[in-house]
Chains A and B, each alone.
Chain A
Amino acid sequence: MSTATFRIWRGDAQGGEFREYPAEVSEGMVVLDALLQIQARHANDLACRWNCKAGKCGSCSAEVNGIPRLMCMTRLSQIPLDQPVTIEPLKAFPVVRDLATDLSWNYRVKKKIKPFKPRPPDAADGTWRMAQEDVDRVQEFRKCIECFLCQDVCHVLREHHQHEKFIGPRFLVYTAALEMHPLDTEDRLPELKQAHGVGLCNITKCCTKVCPEDITITDNAIIPLKERVVDEFYDPLGWLAKQARNALKR
């Protein structure tokens, strides 16, 4: 059994440092295995979040050698072990302790997005009819496990700290899932344009690259939302048509 060295960031909101720990490496191990081994043997109080260790809950997000990843789905065989493996907390959020960051901003943002509002049921028994083809794209967005890796890698949040003006890729995907839900009747375009800042995304697709669920965040969610906002607010023909519709309603 070989050993590898892990360079783990230890500290809190006041600051911290990297510390090196050894871990025994066995077949099939993932980064989280190494971390839990170090926690049990060398650093009982090493703070990190994890739950399912199966890539389903999205709790063990961290930066492994500088790349945002789920530690439970990152095999040691995928990374070079001849040099220390660096593990750091997510950069887009304030550190609580060691690898645990304060993610509460994400929960506050979600609360601000208007909830699902279905059309009246299609059948007398209170149920709806939807074709599989019509729910496919929403199901893609609903695969999201809220690991917030996309939020972490997004430079609007990570480097420019625009947390007050931009809801980030995760919540654009969430909005898209609601907006494209075949039953939904709510209109979220005005806030998408203003408070939620869809225009701040400049389509670098970093979020899509780190998504552990392979959601095509930029192409399938964000760009269509941008198009809807453009159609609603900037399309002169659309604007005229809307005025005419409103006039007729009056």
Chain B
Amino acid sequence: MPDYETVEHDVLIIGSGGAGLRAAIEASAAGVSVGMVSKCLLGKAHTVMAEGGIAAALANVDDRDNWKVHFADTMRGGQYVNNWRMAELHAKEAPDRVRELEAWGAVFDRTPDGRILQRNFGGHKYPRLAHVGDRTGLELIRTLQDRGVHRGIDVHMEVCVIELLQDGGRVIGAFGYDRERGKFRIFHAKAVVLATGGVGKAYKITSNSWDCTGDGHALAYHAGAALIDMEYLQFHPTGMVWPPSVCGMLVTEGVRGEGGILTNKDGKRFMFDHIPDNYKAQTADNEEEGWRYTQGDKKARRPPDLLTRDHIARCIVREIKEGRGSPHGGVFLDISWIKQRISNAEEHIRRKLPSMYHQFKQLGDVDITREAMEVGPTTHYIMGGVKVDADTEMSTMPGLFAAGECAAGINGANRLGGNSLSDIIVFGKRAGEFAAKFAKGNKAGQINAAQVEEAAQRALEPFSRNVTAGAGFEGPYQVQFDLQEMMQNLVGIVRREDEILRALDGLQRLNARAQRVGVTGHRQFNPGWHTALDLRSLLTVSEAIARAALERKESRGAQFRDDFPNKDTALGRESVVIRKGANGSMQVNREPLPEMPEHLKQVIDEMK
């Protein structure tokens, strides 16, 4: 084996967003040495884009809130296929994690009596989201980053992991390359935490950054760990639709939390027509009551514009399909109308939604204090991911942990807005804590030179294919674009068996093309090469999504099957599990969900 640079850590964390940083801080506090690998520069991870807030039952704004309500809201939003234990831990521990951020320097917006302010969000019964205007993710990542850099964490910036290293069924490190110099690096660790975020870049229209390529999902899968819930992919109902250059860019749910309304081309608030039965009791049936709710009237029920994301996305798709959409193929989202209700509306909008104001003004020539926005669904978040133990976040492979978006369970079939920032700090902390514990109790494993060499050879192959010679090779970008286009069209919001089967066919062809991708230039900071290497992750997660979507012959949460439009009670008691088979092909199975204990069933019944 060539002499690759090798670094040793007790705990290696892959990913530098909120989950990775929180895990790193916790592991470091436990007294072990910690390394963190970041695909981008520190502080630039996708967490930075989270807008609306962190869900935690602090009960600062409405004292009726508590962990039980948050738990019941999360389970209802997830269509009761969430891992109940994760939902319980999340609801119970989120308030402490938020208060801890304040102790570390985060500056949240304040209530009149000086406490952390909370705002309304879809699916949350009470105002629950601690926030900083509409840039909460920036506040969170910066607070954790600044806390982390003073704790002796080794940060490997702009390093990309391409393989998890194993020793006898246990994960003992990782192998990757640094983007800047293009050199390989071996990470030898006693425990590894995946915190790599989402998969949005498998789709054409997405709110996700370039680096959300499902690396953690794919690394875990290829190492032999189980993935669950991959059919549950969230399309955020409100992304920008115009101009084309910004199509998919997120428009925060906070707009609706502050009183923004969804209308079609006829000016009709179409969400009032489609309130699901299990939300009827807690949803306003008239505009007046909905407005009072957004203004803090505790007697009012929330407007249907704040129903869960899966449902709103489908309603928007229907409006567009039936010809009631906006000029550029979306619907209207209007916050400017609140000037009919409050006196200083323009200033209020700019203050509560500064990024949205700026984003539309700068990129879309729309002044949101004066006119409606055009919005449509955008690929946003995957509920599925690495199957983990609820308490420790260890995957089905010893030594491999996962937290945040790349782990599955907490969100079930649909995630509530605000529950991802709380997820990453609650389970990031737990992953760091238990990875450190695992590292203390286990010796370092033996690196398998053959495994390293095979990964290195695979990574270098694209350089041997001369794309300019017309020898049947092509560059990586077109393969990526074609994949994104296909997943968007065939495994999107509304799914059908024949389309998914076509997608699986298409994936086979794309896999073959990916094997013939060539790159130009050399190994130093070469985005063409990086894109070629990312294809493996993108193709793996795309296949997992398609196969899981095919397996679940029902509609539930984010999975909507046109050919099976109803829920199937039996399927609702099972998860779809994806594993790599002995012959290297993808295996799909169904396994029963863990049984919820009586006391939590009671909590859910009480909150109905």
Contact = CB atoms under 8 A, between A and B. Distances in A.
A245 interface: no
Contacts of B105: 115-116, 118, 178, 181, 184
B149 A47 contact: no
B75 to A, nearest CB: 27
Nearest to B518: A44
A123 B437 CA distance: 33
A135 interface: yes
B521 A56 contact: no
B183 interface: no
Contacts of A121: 103
Given A128-B102, A132-B110, A59 B41 contact: yes
A45 B529 contact: yes
Contacts of A56: 48-49, 135, 137-138, 355
Contacts of B104: 116
A145 B49 CA distance: 11
B209 interface: yes
Interface in A184-206: 184
Contacts of B107: 130, 135, 138-139, 142, 181
Contacts of A132: 109-110
B3 to A, nearest CB: 24
Contact of A73 (B99, B115, B363, B475): B363
Interface in B141-157: 142, 146-147, 149-150, 157
Contacts of A130: 107, 110, 114
Contact of B102 (A58, A59, A127): A127
Interface stretch (B241-249, B310-318, B575-583): B241-249
B146 A57 contact: no
B521 A28 contact: no
Contacts of A46: 527
A37 B63 CA distance: 52
Interface stretch (A93-101, A216-224, A228-236): A93-101
A131 B520 contact: no
B526 A127 contact: no
B546 interface: no
Contact of B363 (A28, A44, A129): A28
A75 B528 CA distance: 25
Nearest to A142: B107
A189 B243 CA distance: 48
B148 to A, nearest CB: 10
Contacts of B210: 50-51, 53
A78 to B, nearest CB: 9
A131 B110 contact: yes
B49 A107 contact: no
Contacts of A110: 146, 149
A132 to B, nearest CB: 4
A30 interface: yes
Most chain A Cβ neighbours within 10 Å, of B44, B46, B243, B246: B44
Contacts of B150: 111, 115
Contact of B359 (A40, A54, A98, A115): A54
Interface residues of A, number: 58
Chain B: number of interface residues, binned into ranges:
35 or more
A128 B108 CA distance: 11
A48 B210 CA distance: 12
Interface in A27-46: 27-30, 33, 39-41, 44-46
B362 A75 contact: yes
Contacts of B525: 47, 96-98, 100
B34 interface: no
Contacts of A44: 467, 475-477, 519-521, 526-528, 531
B42 interface: yes
B43 interface: yes
A138 B244 CA distance: 36
B246 to A, nearest CB: 7
A130 B102 CA distance: 11
Given A39-B527, A55-B362, A118 B520 contact: no
Contact of A26 (B244, B477, B521): B244
Contact of B146 (A73, A116, A135, A138): A116
B364 interface: yes
A41 B476 CA distance: 10
Contacts of A26: 243-245
A185 B114 CA distance: 19
B102 A51 contact: no
Contacts of B137: 56
B423 interface: no
A55 B478 CA distance: 26
A131 B132 contact: no
Contacts of B102: 127-128
Given A52-B209, A115-B146, A127-B99, A97 B110 contact: no
A16 to B, nearest CB: 13
B180 A45 contact: no
B319 interface: no
Contacts of B113: 129
Contact of A45 (B211, B243, B519): B519
A110 B476 CA distance: 37
Interface in A124-165: 126-132, 135, 138-139, 142-143, 145-146
A110 B41 CA distance: 14
Interface in A60-114: 73, 75, 96-98, 100, 103-104, 107, 110-111
Contacts of B520: 44-45
A14 B521 CA distance: 16
Interface string B172-186: 000000001000000
Given A39-B477, A54-B250, A126 B44 contact: no
A25 B306 CA distance: 38
A56 B46 CA distance: 9
B243 A28 contact: yes
9 contacts: A27-B245, A44-B520, A44-B531, A56-B48, A57-B209, A96-B524, A121-B103, A131-B114, A145-B48
Given A45-B520, A48-B527, A51-B210, 13 more contacts: A28-B364, A30-B363, A44-B526, A44-B527, A45-B527, A46-B527, A49-B41, A50-B210, A59-B41, A97-B525, A116-B146, A129-B114, A142-B107
Interface of B: 40-46, 48-49, 99, 102-105, 107, 109-110, 113-116, 132-133, 135, 137-139, 142, 146-147, 149-150, 157, 180, 209-211, 242-246, 249-250, 355, 358-359, 362-364, 467, 475-478, 481, 519-522, 524-529, 531
